[in-house]
Amino acid sequence: MSKDQSQDSAAEFFPSRKSLKAFRDAAADCKACDLWQRGTQTVFGEGPRRAEVFFVGEQPGNEEDLTGHPFVGPAGRLLNDALVDAGIDRAQTYVTNVVKHFKWEPRGKRRIHKKPNSSEITACRPWLEAEIALIKPKVIVCLGATAARALLGPRFLVSKQRGQFIESTLAPYIMATVHPSSILRAPDEETRHAEKRRFIDDLKKVARVISKN
Ligand code: SF4
């Protein structure tokens, strides 16, 4: 297919059947931006169809790209630990990313994460919108600035507004906090520990919301 305007949106690849499985299968063949050529595979969201909590990160990382599952690398393991401490069952949450392919650049033998640009985020956004529409979560948690800006607007600042529930038409409750990978990048053990505690405190607010009927 030649590159034309109609290929710049993942919506062009939408299935006729509106089920999570149909969307996941269709996303596997998405070529709406150039990232499909760089990543190993599409990493679609995972979790129960009726998950109350919906986590959105930026994009899959190295391990996610290789396994095809979201949040299974170091950041995912930190998220799992923090969820346990906050009293949230990960098996009852849906986890996904704004962009579904791993964007990276080579450094020696390693593949280093590269931030997706605005056209890649725009192209991929329909998959995220479809996931939200199908799951209808009670709480959406944006992990990091890319997810927060994609869902809460370009002026949203995680550094100032993290942990606050924001009014939105996307879900009854939506908040942003840091991406767990930023905690892993903390310069020393003490900072890492403090940042993890703040992250758990944000997740405890989510736990309180889902415990309400
Ligand atoms: S990153 Fe998103 S829009 Fe781009 S090819 Fe992958 S699934 Fe499609």
pLDDT for residue 158 is more than 90: yes
What is the average per-residue pLDDT within 84-93? Answer: 96
Cα of 187 from ligand 1 centre, angstroms: 33
Residue ID of nearest Cα to ligand 1 atom 2: 124
Q: What is the pLDDT of residues 59-77, one digit of tens each?
A: 999 999 999 999 999 999 9
pLDDT of residue 3: 44
Residue ID of nearest Cα to ligand 1 atom 3: 124
Alpha carbons 89 and 47: distance in angstroms, whole number: 11
Residue 99 Cβ < 6 Å to ligand 1: yes
212 band by pLDDT with thresholds 50, 70 and 90: confident
Q: What predicted TM-score, i.e. pTM, was given to this entire model? A: 0.95
- In terms of DSSP H, where are the helices of the chain? 20-27, 62-67, 74-86, 118-135, 145-152, 158-161, 180-184, 189-211
Residue 59 Cβ < 6 Å to ligand 1: no
pLDDT of residue 8: 83
